[in-house]
Structure 1
């Protein structure tokens, strides 16, 4: 673990590098586009509007309540799932650079996390607009969103560390992770509210991703995250980071040979 901790410290110290690389990747995706990265916002807005009308009608929900719930859920889930699925390719896609230059390896994990934070910032415009249109439920809970977001991304980061390392060794894993994230989307309360599963509450109660989504969603819809939600998310972060640093420290020197 000592090696991985040192690598993490060096990676954080090279923040100019991974922030620049992450930002350049976002810009390159939309080179010569007048709207640029805000195409992400437009596509997300269209998806939220179409899903909101259809599922809100099917579930008999008030649009005033359902659209902000859906928008926050989808925006935050997209940030998490994209970070994890792209994180599986963090070392593989940077293999040429890893083989040619001696740099801290966790830079490539931080690059993925930062890139998706930039995209989250663009998509979060939709949440702000909906809160402005339908009104903020509680100004007291809004400040809780910031520490909740930090804890949310810390959990996304340790998962990225683990899947990135394992995917470098086992090349079939990125496809498996993508399939698992798609499956998790349907069993996590994103399109539906947790209370709607009256007979199958265990789907939410035993789903750790449900607690992560609730952690960042609750403050924005006027609720304080429960003590259980905080406890589960903190426990996941502590155990996950210990696991991620342990695995990274053990196999750090093998990454150039795997990629």
Structure 2
């Protein structure tokens, strides 16, 4: 075949289209999503305003609901576990506040892209924007719930600031509130970063398999009772003794949500902060974002068809 005809065929052939499965495109989507903070920040704030539109007290319903739940269950379980209300109620309250944020990331994260079907099909924005919209909305709700924490802190400052206080009867002595409470700031930032990969990963899976949100909801309901939120690991030691309670305490230690909650709860109420909580959460952060990146690479282009 003449060289001229071969050259003409190469010129006539259409250029090869880049593959939609690309690490560069997946990474670019995540980076660009974080850059468009004005977009997901505005969308998240509009979610809160839309939810409580025409309400008299508006988003303060979030705070009121949390306060009623924390006080009611705190009074009940403090009596069941024979714990002092001055230390147990703040423990339970902060546990509920952190749990609500984590539970929101898990349950609402599964519907991140499903709820944004209209925007995904008509708005040329990175998929990460919609995940960050969910996390930002939950962050605003978390901020509202912190009002309950500050009220509880003002009421029970005396017991919480006392060195050596215990959460339950004959429990482990705690160091009490100090400047270590500032560790709650990086702890929450780390939780919010984890919420991002949870919303991306579970959101993509849920657009393909619509049963996943129901599965996650059922699992989180079980994990709520298995996680030390309304109960403490001190109760296991007091109930079964230090020796026989060993394997039962490991049930809590092997629960990753326990480390997430304790990472933020411990500094807020003056509990002893253990380094292994940071190690576990950081490990899940790295692995989680790695899985989210893989999901973005392989299925990012299909989300708009699945929703």
TM-score, normalising length: structure 2? 0.82
Matches within 5 A, 1:138-177: 138-177=177-216
CA distance in 2, matches of 1:44, 1:248: 35
Match of 2:135 in 1: 113
CA distance in 1, matches of 2:193, 2:227: 19
Q: 1:39 aligns with which of 52, 57, 61?
A: 61
Matches within 5 A, 1:93-104: 93-104=115-126
CA distance in 1, matches of 2:97, 2:215: 23
C-alpha deviation, 1:3, in angstroms: 1.8
Match of 2:298 in 1: 250
C-alpha deviation, 1:224, in angstroms: 4.3
Match of 1:187 in 2: 226
Post-superposition CA distance 1:82-110 (Å, at most 9, x none): 12211111101111221123210111000
C-alpha deviation, 1:139, in angstroms: 2.2
2:270 aligned with 1:222? yes
RMSD over aligned Cα atoms: 1.1
Post-superposition CA distance 1:129-158 (Å, at most 9, x none): 111111153222111110111112222221
Match of 2:172 in 1: none
2:37 aligned with 1:19? no
Q: Is the 8 A contact 1:79 1:120 kept in 2?
A: yes
Which structure: larger Rg?
2
CA distance in 2, matches of 1:194, 1:84: 24
Work out which structure has the larger RCO, using CA pairs closer than 8 Å and 6 or more positions apart in sequence: 1
2:140 aligned with 1:92? no
Gaps of 5+ in 1: none
Partner SS for 2:127: coil
TM-score, normalising length: structure 1? 0.97
Post-superposition CA distance 1:202-246 (Å, at most 9, x none): 211111111111100010121342111111111111111111111
Q: Is the 8 A contact 1:70 1:190 kept in 2?
A: yes
CA distance in 1, matches of 2:107, 2:204: 13
Q: How many residues align?
A: 259
Post-superposition CA distance 1:108-130 (Å, at most 9, x none): 00000000000000011001111
